[in-house]
Structure 1
Amino acid sequence: MKRQLLFFVLFLSFISFKLSAQEIEINRLKKHIYFLADDKMKGRPTGSQELAKSAKYIEKEFRKYKLKPLGTKGYRQKFEAKVRRVPVPDSIRQTENIIGFLDNGAPYTIVVGAHYDHLGHGDFGGTRDTSHIGLIHNGADDNASGVAGLLELARYYSSNKIPEKYNILFIAFSAEELGLLGSRYWTENPTLPLDKIHWMLNMDMIGRYNPDNGLAIIGYGTSSKFPAIFENISSTIKFNKSKDGNGGSDQTSFYKKNIPVLFFHTGGHDDYHKATDDADKIDYEALKAILELEVKVINNSMLQDKMDFIWTN
């Protein structure tokens, strides 16, 4: 009887672990956002020690999930970024993309991306309120929210013990705020052949859901497969699909390389590119729902053959 009881307890523990692995967890999302958007991170400007600390944090999570390093040196892909908006003495900055690969032994790969840099003290361009120059722009929504989503999807798919039909490449891009430089560098210097990419999912500002506007999903027209992928998908949040593959974020770099893309975005708000974009203003319940929707989209895309590309402009 004791042996049977022990077996039953172990079985329940195993089921509990599996269920946990198959859930998007709000506490983890909060942990990531509050770390990245803390005042101590000084707004994560490109080339800063604080952005390097953010990179180390992301790399540690990738290693925890046993993702394969797919940078040029471990998880890192170093490149040079230039500040162009305003004259600054340190206009040339060294920075890195952080890249982890979930290898399912498949011929093709889905790319999931989000940028992890922000505006620092707003003194190298980009702030929407000049009175905020010199203040820390924490960038909780832009784009700690997307990085939290990236890390949670990495945990989710690496923990499900399922060898999916597609591999997944997780990329945290740097220097997006300087002009999509990290994603542009990766697509010009890919660590995985571009012709092996199924499609690319980008998350940028997914933390401030407004039910009046809904979630924007940009890039729906970039493949003939997306209508089938979205068929019968429902969500607790409202979402709107837009055809164009271009836009002010990193999916544009992939779109310009003839790769189908989707860009998930909850839209602008009064705190966008200001020193008031803080972690306590994130809608964590809606963020969880957005990631659950993305899981459905990713899973449905794995039922499709390699996706074709459509130029929408």
Structure 2
Amino acid sequence: MENSKERLYHDVERLTGIEPARNYLNLEALEEAVRYIKGELEKLDCEVQEQPFKVDNKTYKNMVALFKGKSSAERIVVGAHYDVCGDQPGADDNASGVAGLLETARLLHQHKPPLQYDIELVAYCLEEPPFFASEDMGSAVHARKLHEQKVKVRAMICYEMIGYFSDEPHSQKFPDPELARHYPHTGNFIVVVGKTGQEAYTQQVRDLMRQHTDIDVQSVNLPASFGLVGLSDHRNYWKYDINAIMINDSSFLRNPHYHQPSDTIDTLDFDKMAAVVAGVYGALIRL
């Protein structure tokens, strides 16, 4: 029986092996990623469907899986984007996040915890430029559809870059000196990132994760206007007053391979990735 670490590795290996790169220009590569994600989800006890949407007369797809809870009155969304920026394999950004998403689905299937709420897992397209921060982001499409359907979303968790860690001293960089005073300077922790006003939810996720993993889990809340806090798909749920946070290894503040051809599978730490997913799963079923 494979363990989480092996399954995560297989997911990242499969996604980063797609050629040409799975960016918005390469529709066949994106479709191959969708087929893989869909195939993995269809092995599990959940409802699976594609969510197609059109941008510039081209069809892109989100991939959605729904695990039903005791009450369908509320839903928790977990998401990650599968597209990449430019011509690069995107191991950390964001095959690692998609692997985390798929592994979360497998753990829900495997352990069949009693769920209080529906859990919807979504693999998004078009997170990266030139669509970032636009209404064409796959997560913007998804969030808008939920709002139109009057689905009550209890919370949202975004997996965004969860695979790069370093035990080297001073491997963690900071955008300003004030933050540097409050966080470790060795880049071997994971961060729960939320905007100002979400402190209670951000800290709840952090504390629940800490109970279910041995990796160091930190949290930070910053104003939405502080660019780094909204650098992924969770941003599109804020406009609907949904508590939405990002699980992140701090991206370019730690990983020198960000948006580079060197963002390859051999730079990732799969033991720590598995620990991150264990923490998120433990938090998710208790939110």
The equivalent of 2:264 in structure 1 is 278
Corresponding letter in the other structure for 2:132:
G
Output one character per residue of 1:224-283: Cα deviation in whole Å (capped at 9) or x when no partner: 355455447344222221124641100000122210012011022211101111111111
- Over residues 36-69 of structure 1, what are the superposed CA-to-partner deviations in whole Å (9 max), with x where a residue is unaligned? 001x432211252011010011111111113213
Question: Can you give the 5+ residue segments of structure 1 that lack an aligned partner in the other structure?
Answer: 1-19, 70-74, 83-91, 123-135, 302-313
Length-normalised TM-score, structure 2: 0.80
Tell me, yes or no, if structure 1 residue 159 matches structure 2 residue 117.
Answer: no
Alignment of 1:19-38 (within 5 A): 25-38=4-17
* More displaced 10-residue stretch of structure 1: 144-153 or 236-245: 236-245
Number of residues of Structure 1 aligned to a counterpart in Structure 2: 250
Shifted more, 192-201 versus 48-57: the winner is: 192-201
Richer in strand (by share): 2
Structure-2 change in CA distance of 1:231 and 1:187 (3 Å): closer
Q: CA deviation at 1:162?
A: 2.9
Alpha-carbon distance in structure 2 between the residues aligned to 1:285 and 1:68: 29
Q: What residue in structure 2 maps to residue 247 of structure 1?
A: 230
**Residue in 2 aligned with 1:208?**
164
Deviating beyond 6 angstroms after TM superposition, the runs of 4 or more aligned structure 1 residues are: none
Amino acid in the other structure paired with 2:80: A
Query: Relative to 1, partners in 2 of residues 1:196 and 1:68: Cα closer, same or farther, differing over 3 Å?
Result: same
- C-alpha distance in structure 1 between counterparts of 2:150 and 2:34, whole Å: 24
The code of the aligned residue for 1:218 comes to V
The Cα shift of 1:77 comes to 1.2
* Cα pair 2:194 2:202 within 8 Å, conserved: no
User: What does residue 110 of structure 1 align with?
Assistant: 76
* 1:12 corresponds to: none
* 2:125 alignment counterpart: 174
Identity of aligned residues (%): 26
Match in the other structure for 1:305? none
Q: Which residue of 1 aligns with 2:200?
A: 224
Larger radius of gyration: 1
SS in 2 for 1:51: helix
CA offsets, 1:159-216, max 9 Å, x none?
Answer: 2133311211000000000215110111122388455211000011111023513212
SS of the aligned residue for 2:219 comes to strand
Does structure 1 retain, via aligned residues, the 8 Å contact 2:65–2:120? yes
Q: CA deviation at 1:223?
A: 5.8
Unaligned runs of 5+ in 2: 168-185
3-state DSSP class of the match of 2:163? Answer: coil
* Cα RMSD for the two superposed structures: 2.3
TM-score (norm 1): 0.73
The answer to whether structure 1 residue 41 and structure 2 residue 19 are counterparts is: yes
State the secondary structure of the residue aligned to 1:28: helix
> Aligned pair 1:137/2:102, yes or no?
no
**2:8 partner amino acid:** L
